Structure 1
Amino acid sequence: MPKEIQNNSGSLSSKHRLAQIIAILKKHHLTKGIDPVKLRMILEDLGPTFVKIGQIMSSRQDMFSERYCQELTQLRDNVAPMNMATIRTVVEDEYGTDLEDIFMTFDQVPLGSASIAQVHKATLRNGKQIVVKVQRPSIYNMMERDISLVRRAIQLLRLNEVLGSVVDLNIVLDEFWQTAKEEMDFLNEAQYAEHFIKLNEDLLYIGAPHIETEYTTSKVLVMEYVDGFEIDNRDLLLKNGYDNHEIAVKISENYIKQIVDDGFFHADPHPGNLRIRDGKIVWIDFGMMGILKREDKDLMKQAVLAIGNNDTQQLADVILVLGVHEDRIDYTLFYDDIENFMQHYVSMDLKDMNLGDAVQEIFTIAHKHHISMPKGVSMLARGLVTMESTVMHLDPHISIIEVAANHVAGHILKDLDIKKELSTTGKKVYDATQYGLNIPIQLSELIRMIMKGRIKINLDIMDSSVPLNSVNHMVNKLTVGIVSAGLLMASSLLCTTQMSPQFFGIPAIGFIGYMTAIGLGIWLLITVLKERKYRK
């Protein structure tokens, strides 16, 4: 049975809701530790807000280990649909008029129901078939309150102390709330859809539903109804004259274009958000879009080329520049992990690589070294893995990473107006030109890292940063020995004078120097003997 949204809404007072949250956490004995299954069950029990949080967490392979992400992908919205009376109230409050004044027909059975909104098919008064996305009443206040209450529960139960090695709950809540606020303003989704249409208007094989801006508000979104064939229905597509291989190639190329060229990509490209209609691949549902900054797009190109060229140094540098890492990193170990990753894939053809496995492995390395990725990059990783699954269903022989590598390489060759068959001399000129073009980008990244206090100097001493502690002890002992010898020499010189006051016929300052030198010598001798005993 789906859980009624009222179980997690304003019908409960904040006091009672907090008690409910704490009771659920205690029921699962969260203070005794956590595992992936327990976390999923807790989120399900806490209700729609937390199911949504779990869905976001499942995409953050850089923050959570693979087993947590895999388990959280099983979370599904399990919310009872709103009744027609509630839908009518929301729509009429937004429009300030009766529902029948806007819509000629309005299907009472929803096309879909989720934690934030519900979708219905309808017809405008002008006869145009559309879909209406209606936001659940008070969902913003309910989610805002739940986030606030769970922060209090974290403090009361000291959960960050228990779960610190697994996840920083406050970071997860911050990211969720930022994402949820954007998703709950349907004007954002309308703008995203229009921007997507503009970026792809020159591609005859790509389409998107028209947004009825006149009828769209922050809580009601009205767009063109898209029929056509579901993209995962291979047999029906073949029966109607479509070539599954061609669809797979074109959708792959378009998705790589969205990432590399536009920096604006669909973050949830599962089959339910794609249709084939009148010879076009139609993208729908723009509630979750990824945005990459210009420098991040350039870094994505470098990452693709690094994997294609087996360039460990370049891939490691891309990850370090992209990621956020507050803690000290063992750079030697990090580069070794990237080297092992590259060695695993170096013997493979690009078409044989499994993008999902490669992305997961890179994020696992990042997680191991406490490197977290920006929101756009983590959304990109999830989007690529989802797209690979969608494409593989159409044609198992299509490789997303091969399409990406060819796209990036094609752009570079096109920009520099160089033929594919480069002579040895020409290739050297091309490589030199590429390095020259990268210098301003690298300088920009260097300055940005310095300003953020993230610049690191990677000294490869004794194969790891761990032996640096031994070097530090050696320097300390050497310093003590030099100071001790200096004090002995200075005190001996003072003994040749008649300086007063004196102690046992020796100038007092000289006597203090002797005692200090003897004390330091004894400490140094004891330290050396202890270390020798420890080594034995």
Structure 2
Amino acid sequence: MPAILIAPFASMFGGYFWRAWLQLVHHTLEFASAAFIKSGQWAATRPDLFPKDLCAKVEKLHSNAPSHKFSYTVKSIERASGKTLHEIFMDFEEKPVASGSIAQVYKATLQDGVAFGRQKGPMTVAVKVRHPGVTDVIRRDFTIMNWIANLSTLVPGLRWLRLDESVRQFAVFMLTQVDLAREAAHLSRFSYNFRSWRDVSFPRPVYLLVHPAVLVESFEQGESVSNYIELSDNNQVSHKLAYIGTNTILKMLLVDNFIHADTHPGNILDRGNLLEFFKAVVLRDGRKAAQCVLGFSSKQSCPNPTAFIKQLETSFKFWGSKKAKVIHPGECMQDVLEQVRIHRVNIDGDICTVMVTMMVLQVMAP
């Protein structure tokens, strides 16, 4: 609440006050409960709504949810499976590999024959166990968020953000994340969609051990992509990552119509409009790009569409001129989203997710 009350003054005075406010927002969210932590991470993906430096600040937000007791983990697994822990697992590490705002993850080894009914030999798995009472905590958090969002509709300068609508969409997203059985179904669908790909794989759920509160899946070895991105001198690795990442997201978007991080894949209805937008960015066609963006929401309430189109035309002409340095399409897209925020253009959340994902892929390219 203090961060919300101080926000107008921080924006007014800028400089040190703004930077201090950004730090306060980060600190407040870092020690908040599940939904508030996730809301901060979500805000980082919405540069069309929030200032660039705020997005950058909350992008570094990590979920510091405390681990629940191992005794609760044992009870949850035994309740979900109807078997004792030792009947299922040959070995089970008591210390979690990671703990997030929804659940925590353990590394374990299955007993022979438990996985898929045809398992030969031990199988290393990841065991995801939902935190106690997390559903009730999330519902409470969203009651508070709804109250704040409804207040924002009373402020003329904040109505265009449609925070009440964003909170409702985000609430649905969060409550579906709580259901680990749903996550297992999504993993299976991704695995099927990419069954012929050698460079992309997903954890495979052990369906005899899938439950809304517990998910057992294959343990996938690997390293964070960020470790490779830092190897800026290795162009071959960067090219390979960019190639795989781009093809993966384009297959999800254009072929499967089922995107990671999007719980409503059917919401992306006008894929042709998205394609036209990306084409306009590559061709530096500002007018076409602006027209596509204005069509990215069924409830468009931009106060001055003409000014928005004119601004993008001016920007794109500069990017395509000899005076401008060579600029990646990703940088153009980032500036487009900044202009979207300034001109109060509405973009549906799922569309923005795709745009931000494409920007992330640009980071992988040398």
TM class by shorter chain equals: 0.7 to 0.9
The Cα of 1:78 is off from its aligned counterpart by: 1.4
Q: How far off is 1:212 after superposition?
A: 1.2
The answer to whether the 8 Å contact 2:47/2:341 transfers is yes
Q: Choose from 53, 68, 87 the match for 1:67.
A: 53
1:84 partnered with 2:76:
no
Structure 1: runs of 5+ lacking an equivalent? 1-24, 268-287, 397-536
**1:387 pairs with 358, 361, 366, which one?**
361
Report 1:62-461 matches (<5 A). Answer: 62-126=48-112, 127-152=122-147, 161=154, 164-165=157-158, 167-228=161-222, 230-234=224-228, 245-267=239-261, 291=265, 293=267, 295-327=269-301, 329-347=303-321, 352-389=326-363, 391-392=364-365, 396=366
Change (3 A) 1:205 1:333: same
Distance 1:31 1:311 in 2: 36
Q: Which amino acid aligns with 1:329?
A: P
CA gap of 1:82–1:301, structure 2 versus 1, over 3 A, is same
Pair 250,70 (structure 1): closer, same or farther in 2 beyond 3 Å: closer
CA–CA separation in structure 2 for the residues paired with 1:231 and 1:73? 16
AA aligned to 1:148 is T
Q: Determine helix, strand or coil for the equivalent of 1:265.
A: coil
Q: Distance in 2 between matches of 1:53 and 1:294?
A: 22
Offset of 1:171 from its aligned partner? 3.3
Higher relative contact order (CA 8 A, sep 6+): 2
Report the counterpart of residue 39 of structure 1 in structure 2.
25
1:187 alignment partner AA: A
TM-score (norm 2): 0.80
Paired letter, 2:219? Y
Structure 1 or 2, whichever has the larger Rg, is 1
Structure 2 CA distance for aligned equivalents of residues 42 and 234 of structure 1: 31
Distance 1:329 1:67 in 2: 24
Contact 1:292 1:376 in 2 (8 A): no
What does residue 116 of structure 2 align with?
Answer: none
Q: Shift of residue 359 of structure 1?
A: 2.4
Deviation digits for residues 316-357 of structure 1, max 9, x if unmatched? 221121124453532321210120231133248xx9533443
Q: 1:364-403: CA deviations, max 9, x gaps?
A: 22222322222211221232233333x24xxx2xxxxxxx
One-letter identity of the residue aligned with 1:139? V
1:265/1:311 CA distance change after superposition, 3 Å: same
Cα 1:159–1:229 shift into 2, 3 Å: closer
Partner AA of 2:336 in structure 1: I
Contact 1:104 1:123 in 2 (8 A): yes
1:452-491 equivalence runs, <5 A: none
Distance 2:252 2:316 in 1: 26
Unaligned runs of at least 5 residues, structure 2: 12-20, 113-121
Q: CA RMSD in A?
A: 3.1
Letter in 2 for 1:44: E
Kept after mapping to 1: 8 A contact 2:127/2:217: yes
| CA–CA distance in structure 2, aligned partners of residues 255 and 303 of structure 1 | 16
1:140 to partner: Cα distance: 0.6
- How far apart, CA to CA, are the structure 1 residues paired with 2:176 and 2:197? 28
Distance 1:99 1:143, change over 3 A: same
Per the TM alignment, residue 116 of structure 1 is displaced from its structure 2 partner at its CA by 0.6
Partner Cα distance (2:351, 2:36) in 1: 22
Work out the CA distance in 2 between the residues paired with 1:330 and 1:153: 27
Call closer, same or farther: CA 1:189–1:120 in 2, change over 3 Å.
same
Contact 2:44 2:55 in 1 (8 A): yes
Amino acid at match of 2:279: L
Return 166-175 or 55-64, whichever deviates more: 166-175
The answer to whether the Cα contact below 8 Å between 1:90 and 1:137 also exists between their aligned partners in 2 is no
Counterparts of 2:149 and 2:321 in 1: how far apart (Å)?
A: 47
Corresponding residue for 1:6? none
Cα separation, 2, equivalents of 1:117 and 1:252: 30
Counterpart amino acid of 1:78? N
**How far apart are the structure 2 equivalents of 1:328 and 1:234?**
40
Cα separation, partners in 2 of 1:246 and 1:120, compared to 1, 3 Å = same
Q: TM-score, normalised by structure 1?
A: 0.57
SS of residue in 2 equivalent to 1:213? strand
Q: Is the 8 A contact 1:261 1:297 kept in 2?
A: no
* Residue 277 of structure 1: aligned partner: none
In structure 2, the partner of 1:273 is: none
State percent identity of aligned pairs: 21
Any idea what the Cα deviations from partners look like across 1:91-145, whole Å, max 9, x if unmatched?
2222233222222211111111111111111111122111011111110111101
Indicate conservation of the 8 Å contact 1:111/1:120, yes or no: yes
